Amino acid sequence: MDFKKRRSLFSADSLMPKLLLVFAAISILTTVGIVVVLLVESQKFFEEVPFLDFITGTEWTPLFADGKFGVLPLLVGTFMVTVIASCVALPIGLASAIYLSEYAHEKVRKVLKPVLEILAGVPTIVYGFFALTFVTPILRFLIPATEVFNALSAGLVIGIMIIPLISSMSEDAMSAVPRSLRDAAYALGSTKLEVATKVVVPAAFSGIVASFVLGISRAVGETMIVALAAGALPNMEFNPLKSVETLTAYIVAVSSGDTTVGSVEYQTIYSVGITLFTITLIMNIIAGYISRRFREEY
């Protein structure tokens, strides 16, 4: 190799760490900027509305003449949709991951996994229309008391949407488990199901938990599906057949431009946003603790 080529390679090697540092700094500064904006704008809201009234109030009517600013109805709607989605996605996603990791033939796995991950690339607006025009009519036929906009339809479709995320991440965690652990279990007379459930899953537990939390966080932050299929009626009823409003759906509704910038009604966007941010942050902190607590190193 001549001198010029060596010099160009040396320059590239010295430049790349600096370039990567710039990109990393941009992502960090972007996150910090988002947090700062949420905190500053939310502070303006809480100067007008007491924080205790916000987190304990049971009525959410900020756009009415005599507005009420209790966020609990939005939290109830978000919680209900997320629980329904989790009940669909967590068992199906984990079962799919176990099949792909332990049962599927290599050729089958190479076909099924990409096909499953195609679901993750479908735009959420398509899922929203699917929930409204396909799932909801079926639910109304089976359960006549179901309203046109309801939490059950939105939750089921969100669950379908996050299955690929949970399945793919869980399967990656299981595939990282050393083959020697499986062989040792088989040598002791364990069946394939016992190896999968009593050896592989516990060994990959931290990765599986991370996939669960990421999937649930995705469900909490989903916007278009709940905006189209769940409705916009904040209430405190734990009835999945009725219309609800989630945190994200409210942000979409108020961001349409009908409220005056700087008003208390407008500031509710940031108060709801900081609430959503806090929920996801707490979930990730808990997931990080569980992952560190049960992490296995090989």
pLDDT tens sequence across 183-214: 888 888 888 888 888 888 888 888 888 889 88
Instruction: Give the span between the Cα atoms of 154 and 59, in whole angstroms.
Output: 22
CATH number of the domain that residue 199 is part of: 1.10.3720.10
Is 205 part of a structural domain of the chain? yes
Q: Is residue 53 part of a domain?
A: no
| Residue 185 shares a structural domain with residue 84 | yes
Q: What's the confidence (pLDDT) of residue 78?
A: 92
Q: Confirm whether 146 is domain-assigned.
A: yes
Q: Is the pTM of this model over 0.85?
A: yes
pLDDT at res. 93: 92
SS3 130: helix
Does any domain span residue 86? yes
| The pLDDT value given to residue 4 | 55
Same domain, 287 and 157: yes
Q: Which residues of the chain have pLDDT under 50?
A: 3
Q: Does residue 259 lie in a domain region?
A: yes
Pick from 231, 229, 211, 80: nearest CA to 157: 229
Query: Which pLDDT score is estimated for 5?
Result: 55
Assess contact for 157 and 238: CB atoms under 8 A: no
- Do 277 and 179 fall into the same domain? yes
On whether both 109 and 221 belong to a single domain, the answer is yes
Segments forming the whole domain that contains residue 85: 72-294
> What pLDDT is attached to residue 150?
92
Query: Do the Cβ atoms of 89 and 215 come closer than 8 Å?
Result: yes
Same domain? For 113 and 256 the reply is: yes
The first and second tokens of residue 207, run together, are: 């990765």
Number of domains comprising the chain? 2
CA separation for the pair 136, 130 (Å, rounded): 9
In a domain, 60, yes or no: no
What does the DSSP assignment read for 48-89?
HS-HHHHHH-S-B-TTSTT--B--HHHHHHHHHHHHHHHHHH
The answer to whether 156 and 143 are in contact (CB under 8 A) is no
The reply to whether 127 and 271 lie within a common domain is yes
Question: Is residue 157 located within the same domain as residue 256?
Answer: yes
Residues 35 and 124 in one domain: no
Q: Do residues 219 and 85 lie in contact, with contact meaning Cβ atoms separated by under 8 Å?
A: yes
pLDDT of residue 163: 92
Q: Are residues 210 and 242 in the same domain?
A: yes
Flag whether 164 is in a domain: yes
**Domain shared by 82 and 36, yes or no:** no
CB 84 within 8 A of CB 155: yes
**What are 270's two structure tokens?**
């940031």
Q: Quick one: 114 and 254 in the same domain? A: yes
- Check whether residue 43 and residue 122 sit in a common domain: no
Is residue 267 included in any domain, yes or no?
yes
